[in-house]
A and B are shown apart, each in its own frame.
Chain A
Amino acid sequence: MTEDWRSYVQRIEELAARSGLSFNPVDFEAVPDSFMMEVAIYGLPVRMPHWSFGVRYIYQLIQRRMGHSRLFEVVFPGNPGHAYLAESNGLAENILVTAHVLGHADFSRNNLLFRRCQQQVSERIVEHAASHARQIQHNIEAHGAQRVEAVLDAALALEQHIDVDQDLRRERYAEYLADPRTLVDDTFRKRFAALEPAAPSASLERKRAPVPPHAERDLLWFVANYAPEMESWERDIFLAVREESFYFYPVFATQIMNEGWASYWHARLLREADFVPQQSYLDAIKCHSDVVRPIAAEQQVSLSVNPYHLGFAMWEKIVAKDGLDAARRIMEQDDDFAFVRNHLTRELADELGLFRYSARSDGQIKVLEQDLTALHEALLAPRYNFGAPVVSAAHVRNDGTLELTHDSSVDGRGLDLERSRKVLDYMQKVWRRPIVLTTVNQAGSALELTAP
């Protein structure tokens, strides 16, 4: 069975290359379902241990037992890429999945956001994550499981708080404020200096720059670099988590595009693959329609939008209207925000039956009037800022107290106080000085949380 599937891989790859896909080689491996599930939970084949993954594991087990989810493949971009296929896949499913994986491989090699992040993280994230896991294992042996766990509690709680616009390997802030005098026109300064050689040297009055010099969104980086009493192995754990987050970001921020692109290509490659036997083709097409179906069969309405379906429909539309070259350009340049805002048109939204709704806390759900821009934002809202509230480091006081601020003007409302307090508790264990967080309460007035 599996042998059969492997014999198709090469032919599908050739077909994909002829169709204009350009991808790094991909290692395919068939693995047991249990392993698939774990990869999906951890996000990486080998990753640091943490109890929170255990919680997800149980939820996943429950879901699987209830028959809600089934994983066909998990793919890791890189050079070479790694694709894990579930051993339980049938031949038709595997043919489909192989084509799907190549779509992802094409996407991750050519999409700018992916490329940028991969340049930062390197194309070997799978190996990096495994070495982080190993390092953390060493830490556990050296410092004890509890101390390591406390650090991971904090680091993983902040995993979404990175700044992908900055480099992965960032320099520390300049220690001194730029001297305003150096900013003045150079030739003038030289002439001026020549006139008065005894002018007091500028360096004597250098001023220390405040830390941070501006609100810092990359909390993982900031804590790792500026925590007053953190040990170096603790900083390394923070930076390891941060590196993995840099890897996860493009996956997160291009989900609709990426899954849509892969679905578009598996459908198209399958249509063109005349070497696939008739029956397998039919089975594969059925599987495809399950994957990209908008709504569960027994339902009329869904309160969420299947990203596979949305992306697939959008790419089909784009290719039909503007051709493949235009589609490839969009694929290279956009992320989900640009993609949805630019290419989800009124007609398409109507065609797909997309709507906007509001859900009151008493459980009443009401469909809202049509408004394309608002629909875009409703689709994208859960994806802003890596899905996390905008919390940044604002200031470190002389006594080492860290001031965090939550930008409620961007997020529209304040933080969940109980959870935030717990996060502060986690952070406090590595920051080791007081932490103050300002957000707003229900009424919109400022509110301060402190730890300890």
Chain B
Amino acid sequence: MEGDQGRREEGAAGGAGKWYELFSRGARDWLRHDEKVREAVRANLPEIIAGGEVINDGARTVRVPVRMLEHYHFRLRRPEEAQGAGQGKAKPGDVLSDPARERGPGEKGAGGRDEGEVQLLLEFKVDDIVDWLWEEMQLPNLKARVGPSDESDWTREGWDRRGARSRLDRRRSFKELVKRRGAPGATPTFTDEDLRFRQLARRRQPAVHAVVFFMLDVSGSMSDRDRKLAKTFFFWVVQGLRRQYRSLETLFVAHTTEAWEFNEPDFFQVTGTGGTVASSGLLKVREVIDTRFNPGRSNIYLFYASDGDNSVSDAAEARAALASVAADTCFTGYVEVSSGLSRQLATETGKLFAELSGAGCAVGSYALNDFDDVWGAVRHFFTAESHSPDGPRAADAPAGGAPQAGSP
């Protein structure tokens, strides 16, 4: 019975029938809606980036609440008092509760005009957002400083007549055998001459490793809001660099008049009291670099967030420490988080960086007064980074055979 039915229907529809089982137009148009929402979100990236709340520690996604898009029509303004017609047991003067108003407009789908509010929570991959950022900023991707990798990476390269048994290439050896004997069919007997062993070669790798220092001023003058600003900014810096380097090591240093290294969760909770001595933090960074890293072999970045109120007596020491650190980093960035007062880098620390920048070092500064500025800051640093020539670093960097990076 069933089969019969199927055949008949197909005949009636002339073969083209049943297309609707293959394809849902509703879903297609819904996907387009979704795409539009994403485009809209994308167009507002600065706001997303600025929204500190969206960033969960360690999460690879960012959640953005969005409303469904509305296709707008001319509509009358909502009246203060609307009249309608209803049905049921009600007398004039009765006051009714509002039983089902929110529940949508009955059975007619085709009208669908009074859609209730439905909130969507769209999840974006942080990677996607960073991709968009890159497109948006049209950055030539950051150039990884080339250097020999610590990881040894062996690749097969050629054959030899000698080698370990485990690297015997049977196929190749058999070929040799056939070549030598010239006649297939006969029982092959291998001689030592036929054997071929795979050779390994160690390949030099471009540096895929980067080290980022985040240095935060936690002195008494830094408010919670300042720290949050810094955190949001740091988050996006990590994302940006992570895109560039296969492995990224992040180090967190906080300082007041002293400096400490922290792990990430604690780092943003730290509050300190007392004054600001930038040199203490910079010396700490210096110390970590010296003890754990080889500046010639790692790409080191330093981002420093502070309100800029470095103690005046520290100026000389800070200058020296900064110059020393900057000489070993690919880039050193300074964000001045001073919510409320926009001093535009006219601070002690600001001057310090300006000086260094004037001297041609790969440093940059940006004043971060509000969450809206985070976008600008990210943009500023990454554009600056890509534009700054390897400059002073170029001279002493390539030591370990960088030119070979591309060769197989």
Let me know if A423 and B73 touch, CB within 8 A: yes
Task: Kindly provide the distance from the CB of A56 to the nearest chain B CB, expressed in whole angstroms.
Answer: 4
- Known pairs A355-B86, A381-B83; A50 contacts B29 (CB<8 A): yes
Let me know if A301 and B87 touch, CB within 8 A: yes
Tell me if A200 is interfacial: C-beta within 8 Å of chain B: no
- Known pairs A54-B26, A63-B104; A361 contacts B80 (CB<8 A): yes
**Total count of chain B residues near the partner, CB < 8 A:** 65
Tell me if B24 is interfacial: C-beta within 8 Å of chain A: yes
Using A360-B80, A370-B92 as known contacts, list a sample of 7 further A-B pairs with CB atoms less than 8 Å apart, ordered by residue number in A. A3-B5, A51-B36, A56-B26, A56-B115, A365-B98, A368-B92, A420-B74
For residues 39 through 92 of chain B, which have their beta carbon under 8 Å from a beta carbon of chain A?
A: 68-92
- B110 nearest CB neighbor, chain A only: A43
- Residues in chain A within 8 A of chain B (CB atoms): 2-3, 29, 31-32, 34-35, 37-38, 40-43, 47, 49-63, 68-71, 149, 153, 156-158, 160-161, 294-296, 299-306, 309, 352-361, 363-370, 374-375, 378-379, 381, 387-389, 391, 406, 411-417, 419-420, 422-423, 426, 442
User: What residues of A have a CB within 8 angstroms of the CB of B98 in the complex?
Assistant: 303, 359, 363, 365
20 contacts between A and B (CB under 8 A): A41-B110, A50-B71, A51-B33, A54-B27, A57-B29, A57-B30, A59-B115, A63-B109, A160-B73, A301-B96, A303-B86, A304-B85, A355-B90, A356-B85, A357-B83, A367-B95, A379-B85, A389-B76, A415-B76, A420-B72
Tell me if B358 is interfacial: C-beta within 8 Å of chain A: no
- Known pairs A55-B69, A157-B72, A301-B90; A359 contacts B84 (CB<8 A): yes
User: What residues of B have a CB within 8 angstroms of the CB of A50 in the complex?
Assistant: 29, 32, 71
Partner of B68, one of A55, A304, A355, A416: A55
Task: Kindly provide the distance from the CB of A341 to the nearest chain B CB, expressed in whole angstroms.
Answer: 13
Partner of B96, one of A69, A357, A374, A387: A357
Tell me if B1 is interfacial: C-beta within 8 Å of chain A: yes
Task: Kindly provide the distance from the CB of B81 to the nearest chain A CB, expressed in whole angstroms.
Answer: 5
Partner of A358, one of B9, B31, B81: B81
Tell me if B21 is interfacial: C-beta within 8 Å of chain A: yes
User: What residues of A have a CB within 8 angstroms of the CB of B14 in the complex?
Assistant: none
In the A-B complex, the 4 residue pairs with the closest CB atoms: A54-B29, A57-B26, A301-B88, A54-B30
- B96 nearest CB neighbor, chain A only: A365
Let me know if B85 and A426 touch, CB within 8 A: no
Query: How far apart are the CA atoms of A391 and B73 in the complex, in Å?
Result: 11
Query: How far apart are the CA atoms of A337 and B94 in the complex, in Å?
Result: 28
Q: Identify which of A40, A161, A391 gathers the most chain B CB atoms within 10 Å of its CB.
A: A40
Q: SS class of chain A's interface: helix, strand, loop or mixed? A: mixed
Task: Kindly provide the distance from the CB of A80 to the nearest chain B CB, expressed in whole angstroms.
Answer: 12
Task: Kindly provide the distance from the CB of A35 to the nearest chain B CB, expressed in whole angstroms.
Answer: 4
Let me know if A413 and B68 touch, CB within 8 A: no
- A362 nearest CB neighbor, chain B only: B80
- Known pairs A53-B26, A301-B96; A416 contacts B75 (CB<8 A): yes
User: What residues of A have a CB within 8 angstroms of the CB of B7 in the complex?
Assistant: none
Interface flags for B85-124 (1: CB within 8 Å of A; 0: not) read 1111111111111111101111101111101001000000
User: What residues of B have a CB within 8 angstroms of the CB of A359 in the complex?
Assistant: 81-84, 98
Partner of A54, one of B32, B109, B110: B32
Let me know if B85 and A157 touch, CB within 8 A: no
Tell me if B25 is interfacial: C-beta within 8 Å of chain A: yes
- Known pairs A54-B26, A58-B30, A59-B104; A156 contacts B84 (CB<8 A): no
Let me know if B85 and A355 touch, CB within 8 A: yes
Partner of A416, one of B78, B110, B115: B78
Task: Kindly provide the distance from the CB of A355 to the nearest chain B CB, expressed in whole angstroms.
Answer: 5
Partner of A305, one of B30, B34, B85, B113: B85
Task: Kindly provide the distance from the CB of A302 to the nearest chain B CB, expressed in whole angstroms.
Answer: 5
User: What residues of A have a CB within 8 angstroms of the CB of B30 in the complex?
Assistant: 51, 54-55, 57-58
Q: Identify which of A59, A365, A375, A381 gathers the most chain B CB atoms within 10 Å of its CB.
A: A365
User: What residues of B have a CB within 8 angstroms of the CB of A37 in the complex?
Assistant: 26, 109
- Known pairs A2-B5, A68-B104, A391-B74; A40 contacts B88 (CB<8 A): no
Query: How far apart are the CA atoms of A42 and B91 in the complex, in Å?
Result: 39
Let me know if B107 and A58 touch, CB within 8 A: no
User: What residues of B have a CB within 8 angstroms of the CB of A61 in the complex?
Assistant: 26
User: What residues of B have a CB within 8 angstroms of the CB of A365 in the complex?
Assistant: 95-98
